[in-house]
Amino acid sequence: MSFSAPSMENGFSSPRNESFPAGLRVLVVDDDPTWLKILEKMLKKCSYEVTTCGLAREALKLLRERKDGYDIVISDVNMPDMDGFKLLEHVGLEMDLPVLMMSVDGETSRVMKGVQHGACDYLLKPIRMKELRNIWQHVFRKKIHEIRDIESHDSYDGIQISRNGSELSDDGHMFCGEDLAYVKKRKDFENKHDDIGDHSSTKKHRVVWSVDLHQKFVKAVNQIGFDSKYEVGPKKILDLMNVPWLTRENVASHLQKYRLYLSRLQKENDLKASLGGIKLSDLPSKDPAGSFGLQSSINGNQNDVPNGRYQFSGDNFFAQDVDSKNHEGDLKRVVSETKRTLTADLPDPQDMRTQMSFDHSFGSLDSEVNFAAIPAPYSWSKAPENQFKEEHKPLLQLEDGFSQLPPSGIHNHIQIDDPLQSASSITSGLSMTGREICGPEKIKPLYPQYSSNHMSILSPKESAFDSFPVQSKSQMVKHQSFEPISTAISSMKPQGFNLSCITDFESCQRNLISATDSTFEPFNEDLTVCWLEGDCHSMNFGLPNVEFTDYIDPGFIAEFPIYLCDTLTSDTECPFDPPEYSIVDQGLFLS
């Protein structure tokens, strides 16, 4: 049950490289003491370090206290104090740990919900040893993704180049000349025919900033910020995004909106801060208005694919949940970004670092593969360089959305993945980024007040932050149905498996580490506390969906404040260690 404190500095679990899976720090959450015992026993047999907890809130507390104290979480779905889904959400948002859900019933909708919200796997009780033995795969998978992300960030140059040729996108998908050509042809075709009638034709292709696309955008922004040598501007962002059909104007427009959004966020924060409110505990979760209403896009791909192919239109089951997650993630990032902007550098909360990753995948399939790939003595801290190959999914593109559905997991993954990447990777240069974006220094006085307080945040109800909206697929469909691009495919990442492996291992590692290690414990106790309490749920992700609401809870969102807050002031430069922030990725979408 105890984890070795010392070891976890870098996010990776302890450095006991040797016996690979052994020592995996598992947090088991279940209100049923019997199961708790059973699981503990079984897990210990697997040589894992086990910590048990009967209350979800307590589990959250433990996790928050030691951000790097655990490698994986196994939680029951049905618990009195907090529903397992909520816990899942929190974990996904705050600490990016793999979470396994479990319950006695295997009702499809619940399993789906769990998976959509980021559960790596869903186990049905009674759980047997064989199901626990390989849970380390989820941890391992995550590490790989992190590395991959970082790597992608490092390859700034490469990316730029890629615009013209074929290259792997962040997602690991290939954009190739062919695609471009295809796109172009399509466009021409459409233009010629004008629309008349065809839905297909002509419409202007409005770019829909889906979560996925936005994530790319944010990632690019962060990256630029990171390398401070560059100023953040549409052009650079565009280059980094590596989305062939996107134009500088598109990016400029989005950036404008993004900046507005950030400034709004700030104002809100400031306000709240000044009010001093800190209590939030009561607020219910839903935030009415404000929210980040994101639209959903189940397909995550859509962005990539302007055509909007698969969208379900209306609805969405999946989408919603997924979105919500993303949103949340966005928020965080946004927040963090905002913070940065404001303050420039602060030590940031460790939380951020990894957190965002939501890549959860369906583990099973992958697992085997990974396993094989993994070199035997693998240390947690390192990732296997390239052992894996990327698997792309064949394009599924399909014209209709449905086809994709089946693999339920996929959707989630897609969206989720990105967040992770971005989050993890960026870490260090944060402050810069923020500034750049908002341009504190150079820019106008957007958020003057900022410096002052720490956060406090929020409340939310009203929603202060409202939104940065992302569009949903359905929308996309309408508008873009015909957009050019074929890249779409790229977006799909099926289970989280396609990792592109890293090439520059070293650098990756370096980054990871830096990112990970937390230098500071950022928050004040107060804040933290309140945060913990779950009160601050400031954010709203306005999600209309019923489902979503169910599990979202106030606490869920609460995080916002934390990130935001910083006290430090700003602007100056970014000193040395930038804290690891995650970036704001998706936050924009609100609607």
Partner DNA sequence: AAACGAATAT
Partner DNA sequence: AATATTCGTT
Can you give the binding site for DNA, defined by CB under 7 A?
A: 204-209, 232-236, 248-250, 252-257, 259, 293, 439, 443-444, 467-471, 589-591
- How many other C-beta atoms can be found within 10 angstroms of the C-beta atom of residue 271? 15
Nearer to DNA, 463 or 471 (CB): 471
Compute CA distances 344 → 104, 257, 450, 504, whole Å: 48, 21, 10, 29
Nearer to DNA, 16 or 206 (CB): 206
Q: Where are the alpha helices (DSSP H) in 106-174?
A: 108-116, 129-133, 136-154, 156-162
CB 202 to DNA: min, Å: 12
Cis peptide before 448 (omega within 30 of 0): no
Nearer to DNA, 208 or 530 (CB): 208
Residues 24 and 49: beta-carbon distance below 8 Å: yes
Please report the sign of the dihedral spanned by the C-alpha atoms of residue 346, residue 522, residue 342, residue 151: positive
Q: What is the DSSP string of 312-359?
A: --S--HHHHHHHHHHHHHHHHHHHHHHHHHHH------HHHHHHT---
Nearer to DNA, 82 or 590 (CB): 590
CB 177 to DNA: min, Å: 21
CB 303 to DNA: min, Å: 9
- How many other C-beta atoms can be found within 10 angstroms of the C-beta atom of residue 196? 7
CB 105 to DNA: min, Å: 38
Nearer to DNA, 138 or 205 (CB): 205
CB 267 to DNA: min, Å: 15
Which structure tokens are listed for 189?
A: 């075709």
Residue type, 37: K
Nearer to DNA, 95 or 159 (CB): 159
CB 204 to DNA: min, Å: 6
Rounded CA-CA distance 430/123 in Å is 38
Which structure tokens are listed for 570?
A: 């700003």
Rounded CA-CA distance 421/112 in Å is 23
CB 213 to DNA: min, Å: 8
Rounded (5°) CA angle 515-516-521: 105
Give the position of tokens 């790597």: 151
Nearer to DNA, 202 or 412 (CB): 202
